[in-house]
Chains A and B, each alone.
Chain A
Amino acid sequence: MNTIIDKQYFSEKVVKLTILAPDIAKNRKPGNFVIIKIGEKGERIPLTIAGADIEKGSVDLVVQIVGVSSHKLSALNIGDAVTDIVGPLGQATHIEKVGTILAAGGGVGAAPLLPIIEAFKKAGNKVITVLAARNKDLIILEDEVRKHSDEVIIMTDDGSYGTKGLVTAGMEEVIQREKIDLSVVIGPAIMMKYAAMTTKKYNINTIASLNTIMVDGTGMCGACRITVDGKTKFVCIDGPEFDAHKVDFDEMLLRLSAYKDMEAKAYEKHISCKTQS
């Protein structure tokens, strides 16, 4: 159970894992996520289902290595098993034909974005995707994204690939040029905040997929709570997607940093143990 059957590095810090989980593969929809736990003493972390193969009974996860748990997960190899995996969790993306979709993926956000653009494209929409990252190495899934987009714009902070500039510059270029009916933005919270501000200027409906801290993922704890339109919502059961113009991103950014110091220490300790042994 939960065996890893494929593993592929997109970059030094981003890895794709294909894991056997037939029930999840069968029932997942775009926008859903899983919670995984590595080892008896591991923590529960949420990861978006980037793709699934019902026949093989597998799901794809694309993980950015940022701390202890993502590192532990990335250290597993083909044939190893993930201790716990539960899902598919969260509300699925509401897919319909609206016209032209402007999708924006920041860094590893390209992975959760992929099944969503795939579904919008299948529903008959025109899909324009902006992929953005700090540098060329961090642009992932470009080929897959191209397959499901009518047009792909690449932006890098340092200009090492595509156009030099931030994701918002790429988005604005498209918005100036043609009518956009819906925008979908997924990436680091700070990127989503600015992307949402950009589309707001033009009154374009925008959804963001939020990556808050979570524990259970079933609505039981409230760790994932955020403010949307002045009301408290739980990302794991009410989301993860919300109207980006109504999300209090500043509060979310603060809440995301709740364990920053503890996590940094834990990561140092984890890495130094690894290198010693």
Chain B
Amino acid sequence: MAENQTEYYKIERAQEWRAEIRKNIKVKDRTEMIRVKMLEQDPLIRNKNGLEVNLGLTEELAVTEAQRCIDCPDPTCITGCPVNIYIPKFIKKIEIRDFLGAAQVLKETNSLPAVCGRVCPQEKQCENSCFYTIKLNKPPVAIGFLERFAADYERNSGKINIPETAQKNNIKVAGIGSGPASLAWATDMARMGYDVTVFEALHEIGGVLKYGIPEFRLPNSIVDIEINNLKKMGVKFVTNFVVGKTASLDDLREQGFQAFFVASGAGLPRFMDIPGENSINIFSSNEYLTRINLMGAAKDDYDTPVPFGKNVAVIGGGNTAMDSVRTAKRLGAERAMIVYRRTRNEMPARVEEVEHAIEEQIEFMNLNNPVSYIADQKGRVTKMVLQKMVLGEPDSSGRRSPVPLEGSEYEVDVDIVVVAVGVSPNPLIPASVKGLETTKWGTIKVNEQFQSSIEDIFAGGDIVRGGATVILAMGDGRKAAENMDIYIKTTLKHKSND
């Protein structure tokens, strides 16, 4: 952590109000308190409706949980958060019931706290670095739950705080894609007074937050409120606009855009290239979730169709797989199965989602891998052929890789299969911009300033990282904004000196 940042934390921590509440309860008593439980819908009710699973904390629960945080002199939790939210400060604001103040602290570094509180893999990030986890071997402070609480409180209070914007400088900048990377970038650019336009290929703003992550985990209305705030800050959104197709970057340069932030995501679904995979009713998770989340296919009065299966198999172990399988269950599947080639311990999904899935009667077929699919005469999938796997020796990355067990193939009846084995970077922008350097994986190459090989093009989020997380994408957006500002100011200075 930067020197001056540590200094800042020290000064802040020494403030009277913080010192005061530290005294209220003894550290030992704080550490003996038990971590709160999130209020949740009953598993067997929620797996039949589309409503949010987690109901949030009450004010009392939030304050109690906030008391567990001992306001460490060296708050390791902050280093675990990719955008370095000032965690103890916002938590202590909750402890003194200044909930709006807590939200304010969150917004200093994170423009979408209501989203991150819900979808961050906290167990790998902030909570994994909490004093409780690393030193006490106890459940960490529920940073994610508290973040969600403060953000929701602010939203429901009707006193949502729109960040102040600097005086308009009339310099046009464009974001490409409207996922979390771009939203975070746009917030910071608008704050600095830029004239910000975000172009989106789809008819809706929000990227994966809208078309991927389902309502039961992240209601669209929450994302919409954040987008509306950006609109209030003057950010312009243009939907149905595929940069590289509807207009080229050169066209946009001609229209006066001075710099670009490419955040076009990792949109391209991977398939396994096994026999029968193009049978009817075998979907990529993107297609399945897009039909349902973006196009409303499961609702009667929407035109886009989607089949409702009895036996649904989802291939994969990430968040996308969990979202797909739990969606299938909600659409009435009798068997909703996860087929994953490693064990539960290796699953990349958020731990909470795996736990929720188990409670919702999702079947887990670990150490299994599909090798082919069988279809009927009409081309519809009827069976998947699975092969059993065992975990072999650890590979170079230290992960034990799955090894197929020869001769172990067996068939399982299915009528829908959702393939959720990962995504590749969307090739549209790299293909349409000459001279833009990419890696061998197709991601855009950037330097530490998130600047690409072309100086007015910055990039971040999944198009740079491959499939990553919401908060990493947002962190990239913020850093790109900071550096874009420097870039624009220096080039403008050069121009005026010429």
- A44 near B304 (CB under 8 angstroms)? yes
Q: Are the CB atoms of B303 and A216 closer together than 8 Å?
A: no
Give B334 Cβ to nearest chain A Cβ, in Å. Answer: 20
B428 with A232: CB separation less than 8 A: no
How many contacts between A and B, using CB within 8 angstroms? 115
Q: Considering only CB atoms, which chain B residue lies closest to A39 in the complex? A: B303
The 8 Å CB contact of A218, one of B247, B378, B379, B426, is: B426
Q: Are A222 and B269 in contact (CB under 8 A)?
A: yes
How far apart are B449's CB and chain A's nearest CB, in angstroms?
Answer: 28
CB of A196 to closest CB in B, whole Å:
19
Which of A159-167, A182-190, A255-263 touches B? A255-263
A266 within 8 A of B: yes
Please report the C-alpha to C-alpha distance between residue A227 and residue B242 in the assembled complex, in whole angstroms: 26
Known contacts A41-B303, A257-B378: A86-B242 contact under CB 8 Å: yes
Is A84's beta carbon under 8 Å from chain B?
A: yes
Among the listed B245, B277, B286, B305, which residue makes an inter-chain contact with A220, where contact means beta carbons less than 8 Å apart? Answer: B286
Residue A88 CB within 8 A of the other chain? yes
When C-beta atoms are compared, the residue in chain A nearest to B268 turns out to be A219
In the bound assembly, the distance between CA atoms of A87 and B494 in angstroms comes to: 37
Given A23-B246, A251-B278, A257-B378: A218 touches B303 (CB 8 Å cut-off): no
Q: Give chain A nearest CB distance to B373 CB in angstroms.
A: 13
**Residues A24 and B287 in contact, CB atoms below 8 Å apart:** no
In contact, A218 and B242 (Cβ under 8 angstroms): yes
**Residues of A in contact, count (CB < 8 Å):** 40
A146 CB, nearest partner CB in chain B, Å: 31
CB contact between B305 and one of A44, A85, A237, A266 (< 8 Å): that residue: A266
When distances are taken between beta carbons in the complex, the residues of chain B under 8 Å from A41 are 296, 299, 301-303
Asked whether B26 is an interface residue with its Cβ less than 8 Å from the other chain, the reply is no
Q: How far does the Cβ of A81 sit from chain B's closest Cβ, in whole Å?
A: 12
Beyond A215-B290, A219-B427, whether A86 also contacts B241 by CB under 8 A is: yes
Whether B283 is near chain A, meaning CB under 8 Å from some CB there, is yes
Q: Are A43 and B277 in contact (CB under 8 A)?
A: no
**Contact A255:B378 (CB < 8 A) given known A27-B245, A222-B269:** no
Q: How far is the CB of B425 from chain A (nearest CB, A)?
A: 10
Per-residue interface assignment for chain A, residues 238 to 272, with 1 indicating a CB less than 8 Å from any chain B CB and 0 otherwise? 00000000000001001101110011001000000
B482 → chain A, closest Cβ, in Å?
29
Contact between chains at B426 and A84 (CB < 8 Å): no
Q: Which of B240, B267, B283, B302 contacts A86 (CB 8 A)?
A: B240
Query: Is B202 interfacial (CB-CB < 8 Å)?
Result: yes
A86-B240, A86-B242 known; A43 vs B379 contact (CB < 8 Å): no
Q: How far is the CB of B7 from chain A (nearest CB, A)?
A: 46
Q: Does B479 have its Cβ within 8 Å of any Cβ on chain A? A: no
A116, CB-defined interface residue at 8 Å: no
Q: Is B372 among interface residues, defined by CB-CB distance under 8 A?
A: no
Chain B 221-244 against A: per-residue CB contact (8 Å), 1 yes, 0 no? 000000000000000000111100
Tell me the nearest residue of chain A to B281, going by C-beta: A258
Interface string of A196-237 (1 = CB under 8 A from B): 000000000000000000011011111101110000100001
Contact partners of B279 in chain A: CB under 8 A? 254
B295 contacts A by Cβ under 8 Å? yes
Residue B67 CB within 8 A of the other chain? no
Distance in Å: Cβ of B344 to nearest Cβ of chain A: 27
Contact partners of B299 in chain A: CB under 8 A: 41
- Contact assessment for A221 and B269 in the assembled complex, using a CB-CB cutoff below 8 Å: yes
Counting chain B CB atoms within 10 Å of each CB, which of A27, A222, A262 scores highest? A222
Cα separation A258 to B251 with both chains bound (whole Å)? 39
Residue of A nearest to B280 (CB): A258
What residues of B have a CB within 8 angstroms of the CB of A89 in the complex?
242, 245
Cβ–Cβ < 8 Å partners of B241 in chain A:
23, 86
Beyond the given pairs A43-B304, A263-B305, A266-B305, 18 more chain A to chain B contacts, judged by CB atoms under 8 angstroms and listed by A's residue number, are A27-B247, A44-B203, A86-B202, A86-B241, A86-B242, A215-B290, A220-B269, A220-B290, A220-B426, A221-B290, A222-B269, A232-B273, A237-B427, A254-B378, A254-B379, A255-B280, A259-B305, A262-B305
For the complex of A and B, the 10 pairs showing the least CB-CB separation, nearest first, are: A254-B379, A221-B287, A86-B240, A43-B303, A220-B267, A43-B304, A222-B284, A84-B203, A262-B305, A41-B302
10 A-B residue contacts at CB 8 Å?
A27-B247, A41-B303, A84-B240, A218-B201, A218-B202, A218-B242, A220-B286, A226-B278, A254-B378, A262-B307
Residues of B within 8 A of A (CB): 201-203, 211, 239-242, 245-248, 251, 267-269, 271, 273, 277-281, 283-284, 286-287, 290-291, 295-296, 299, 301-305, 307, 378-379, 426-428
